[in-house]
Structure 1
Amino acid sequence: MEPLKHECGIAMVRLRKPLSYYHDKYGTWMYGLNKLYLLMEKQHNRGQEGAGLAVVKLNSRPGEEYLFRERALGSNAISEIFDAVHKSFHAYSAEQLSDAAFASSQIPYAGECYMGHLRYSTTGKSGLTFVHPMIRRSNWRAKCLAICGNFNLTNVDGIFQEITSVGQHPRNMSDTHILLEQIGHRLDREVERLFCLSKGQNLKGMDITHFIEERIDLSNVLKTCSGFWDGGYVMCGVTGSGESYAMRDPWGIRPAFYYMDDEIIVTASERPVIQTAMNLPAEAVQELMPGEAILINSNGVPRIERILEPKQYQACSFERIYFSRGSDQDIYRERKALGYLLSDRILRSIDYDIQHTIFSFIPNTAEVAYYGMIEGIDHYLDERKIRTIRENPHMSETELREVLAQKVRAEKVAIKDIKLRTFITEGNSRNDLAAHVYDITYGTVTPGVDNLVVIDDSIVRGTTLRQSIIGIMDRLQPKKIVIVSSSPQIRYPDYYGIDMRKMREFVAFRAAVALLQERGMEHILHESYQKALELRKQNFGEEVENVVKAIYKPFTAEEISDKIVDILKPEGVRAKVEIVYQSLEGLHEAIPNHPGDWYFSGDYPTPGGAHLVNEAFINYMEEDLGK
Structure 2
Amino acid sequence: MSDSIKHECGIAFIRLLKPLSYYQEKYGTALWGLNKLYLLMEKQHNRGQDGAGIATIKLDVKPGHRYISRYRSMAQNAVADIFGYVQSKFVDIQNETPELMQDAEWLKNNVSFIGEVLLGHLRYGTHGQNSIENCHPFLRQNNWMTRNLVIAGNFNMTNVEELLEQLYELGQHPKEKADTVTVLEKIGHFLDDENQELFDAYKKEGLDNVEITHKISEGLDIAKILRRSAKNWDGGYAISGIVGNGDAFVLRDPSGIRPAFYYADDEIVVAASERPAIQTAFNIPFKDVKEIEPGHALIVKKSGKVTQEVFRDPQEKRACSFERIYFSRGSDADIYKERKQLGALLCDQILKAVSADLKNTVFSFIPNTAEVSFYGMVEGLHSYIRGVQKDTLLNRKEQLNDQELDELLSMNPRVEKLAIKDVKLRTFITQDADRQDMVAHVYDTTYGIIKNNTDTLVAIDDSIVRGTTLKQSIIKIIDRLHPKKIIIVSSAPQIRYPDCYGIDMSKMGQFVAFEAAIQLLKERGMEHIIEEVYQKCKASLLLPKEEIVNHVKDIYRPFTQEEISAQITKIITPANINAEVEVIYQTLDNLHVACPDHTGDWYFSGNYPTPGGNKVVIKAFVNWKEGSNQRAY
Please indicate, yes or no, whether the TM-score normalized by the shorter chain is above 0.5. yes
Q: Which amino acid aligns with 2:366?
A: I
Q: Distance in 2 between matches of 1:589 and 1:394?
A: 39
* Aligned pair partner of 2:469 in 461, 464, 467: 464
Q: Distance in 1 between matches of 2:169 and 2:628?
A: 37
Q: Is the 8 A contact 2:128 2:134 kept in 1?
A: no
Deviation, structure 1 residue 200: 2.0
Q: Distance in 1 between matches of 2:253 and 2:592?
A: 22
Matching residue of 1:564: 568
Matching residue of 1:72: 73
C-alpha offsets along residues 47-77 of structure 1, whole Å, 9 cap, x if unaligned?
Answer: 1111111000113221111111111114411
Deviation, structure 1 residue 4: 1.1
Matching residue of 1:473: 478
Q: Distance in 2 between matches of 1:23 and 1:470?
A: 57
Alignment of 1:34 with 2:39, yes or no, is: no
Matching residue of 2:538: 533
C-alpha offsets along residues 101-133 of structure 1, whole Å, 9 cap, x if unaligned?
Answer: 101222100000000111112324321111110
Matching residue of 1:351: 355
Q: Which amino acid aligns with 1:270?
A: E
Alignment of 1:212 with 2:213, yes or no, is: no
Q: Distance in 2 between matches of 1:399 and 1:358?
A: 21
Instruction: Give ranges in structure 1 of 5+ residues lacking alignment.
Output: none
Query: Secondary structure of 2:64's partner?
Result: coil
C-alpha offsets along residues 458-512 of structure 1, whole Å, 9 cap, x if unaligned?
Answer: 0001110111011111011101100000000000000011000011000000000
* Aligned pair partner of 1:147 in 132, 142, 151: 151
Matching residue of 1:195: 199
Q: Is the 8 A contact 1:154 1:230 kept in 2?
A: yes
* Aligned pair partner of 2:517 in 494, 512, 515: 512
Query: Secondary structure of 2:370's partner?
Result: helix
Matching residue of 1:441: 446
Q: Distance in 2 between matches of 1:227 and 1:421?
A: 37
Report the CA distance shift for 1:520/1:131 in structure 2 as closer, same or farther (over 3 A). same
Report the CA distance shift for 1:75/1:317 in structure 2 as closer, same or farther (over 3 A). farther
Matching residue of 2:88: 87
The count of residues paired between Structure 1 and Structure 2 equals 622
Q: Distance in 2 between matches of 1:404 and 1:561?
A: 35
Q: Is the 8 A contact 1:274 1:280 kept in 2?
A: yes
Matching residue of 2:332: 328
Report the CA distance shift for 1:324/1:426 in structure 2 as closer, same or farther (over 3 A). closer
C-alpha offsets along residues 159-192 of structure 1, whole Å, 9 cap, x if unaligned?
Answer: 1011110111111111101111111111011111
Matching residue of 2:17: 16
Report the CA distance shift for 1:567/1:399 in structure 2 as closer, same or farther (over 3 A). closer
Q: Is the 8 A contact 1:543 1:610 kept in 2?
A: no
Query: Secondary structure of 1:623's partner?
Result: coil
Query: Secondary structure of 2:626's partner?
Result: helix
Instruction: Give ranges in structure 2 of 5+ residues lacking alignment.
Output: none
Matching residue of 1:488: 493
Matching residue of 1:499: 504
Q: Which amino acid aligns with 1:478?
A: P
Q: Distance in 1 between matches of 2:405 and 2:563?
A: 42
Q: Distance in 1 between matches of 2:407 and 2:321?
A: 43
Query: Secondary structure of 1:147's partner?
Result: strand
Query: Secondary structure of 2:470's partner?
Result: helix
Q: Distance in 2 between matches of 1:421 and 1:183?
A: 35
Q: Which amino acid aligns with 1:505?
A: Q
* Aligned pair partner of 1:137 in 116, 126, 141: 141
Q: Distance in 2 between matches of 1:72 and 1:343?
A: 45
Matching residue of 1:235: 239
Matching residue of 1:267: 271
Matching residue of 2:295: 291
Query: Secondary structure of 1:236's partner?
Result: strand
The farther-off stretch of 121-130 and 337-346 is 121-130
Query: Secondary structure of 2:547's partner?
Result: coil
C-alpha offsets along residues 323-357 of structure 1, whole Å, 9 cap, x if unaligned?
Answer: 11111111111111100000010000111110101
Q: Is the 8 A contact 1:59 1:104 kept in 2?
A: no
Q: Distance in 2 between matches of 1:475 and 1:159?
A: 54
Deviation, structure 1 residue 217: 1.4
Q: Distance in 2 between matches of 1:421 and 1:245?
A: 34
State percent identity of aligned pairs. 53
The farther-off stretch of 542-551 and 244-253 is 542-551
Q: Which amino acid aligns with 1:8?
A: C
Q: Distance in 2 between matches of 1:177 and 1:201?
A: 36
Matching residue of 1:604: 608
Deviation, structure 1 residue 219: 0.8
Report the CA distance shift for 1:291/1:617 in structure 2 as closer, same or farther (over 3 A). same
* Aligned pair partner of 1:97 in 86, 91, 101: 101
C-alpha offsets along residues 403-451 of structure 1, whole Å, 9 cap, x if unaligned?
Answer: 21121100000101123599xx878664234212100000111110100
Q: Is the 8 A contact 2:5 2:426 kept in 1?
A: no
Query: Secondary structure of 2:481's partner?
Result: coil
Deviation, structure 1 residue 245: 0.4
Alignment of 1:407 with 2:412, yes or no, is: yes
Q: Is the 8 A contact 1:48 1:74 kept in 2?
A: no
